[in-house]
Structure 1
């Protein structure tokens, strides 16, 4: 029984380590995916209030989520620390279109 737990522990240790090349590839891939999402948003936006900063936010949010996921890894203590740090951030602008919120979540999912 202890052999099983040792194997599981070793497997968890291997999955928690990320090489610099793998981290750079994950960040680059999330950047490319969020560029595609931002382009899709730009092509499908029909409202009167088009904001270039919103498109940039989609891209930045996806890459930031990717970096945060790399930093957290399998460490629960770091995850709770980051949740506490991010809880002080307040967003001043309200989203008027539900499609905008969906694109934000789409960009975050690409980062994850």
Structure 2
């Protein structure tokens, strides 16, 4: 048999139901593992739990597609042609989100191609290395409680002065983003408060720094920071 015929035979193998179920279950377990790890150790400002809930479906869909197309050369070529005209315009701004999406897609590709051992070894190993990296680089772990996102635009240019005011009135404060403007700062904080009155006191003192301050507050108990 020529090498070309051997190559064609790779695309004519029937799909074993047993192998499919093994791949399906393995994909589900590892996708949930990635999801829990991302929710626990991710740093994105967005609601990570809501974003990570898509990991299971994404991994299983990729696994299903690869399982089907690998059995047919025509389907494989058709998939390439279809993807060449599809444009994905999802608003993903955080590089960390892309990293975990690629990890989930890689999981689906591996299990869909029947590389179960590689997936079973690689995914936990990657997560272990990420955990070690977070641990030895001072990565902050998840905080629990009712988290509130505060966004303000202020003419005061001292971040330390503004942060001290936050810490004076709130029990937990974490600066998540800072943009330097021509006339001041654009800041985003994740905070926790014991009462609404603490936000009133915070707003009043910040207003003393800048009468024209823009102060936005979004309460999101489901946000994990």
Structures share fold, TM-score greater than 0.5: yes
Unaligned residue ranges in structure 2 (runs of 5+): 110-225
Partner of residue 78 from structure 2, selected from 78, 81, 92: 81
Q: Distance in 1 between matches of 2:6 and 2:88?
A: 40
SS of residue in 2 equivalent to 1:24:
helix
Q: CA deviation at 1:31?
A: 1.0
Closer/same/farther in 2, CA of residues 5 and 77 from structure 1, 3 Å limit: same
Q: TM-score of the superposition, structure 2-length normalised?
A: 0.41
Partner of residue 104 from structure 1, selected from 92, 101, 104: 101
Aligned length: 108
Q: Distance in 1 between matches of 2:76 and 2:49?
A: 31
Within the alignment, does 1:40 sit opposite 2:32 as a pair?
Answer: no
SS of residue in 2 equivalent to 1:48:
coil
Q: Distance in 1 between matches of 2:83 and 2:11?
A: 28
Q: By percentage of residues, which structure has more helix?
A: 1
- Structure number with bigger Rg: 2
Q: TM-score of the superposition, structure 1-length normalised?
A: 0.76
Q: Note the aligned Cα RMSD (angstroms).
A: 2.8
Closer/same/farther in 2, CA of residues 87 and 98 from structure 1, 3 Å limit: same
Q: Distance in 1 between matches of 2:88 and 2:49?
A: 17
Unaligned residue ranges in structure 1 (runs of 5+): none
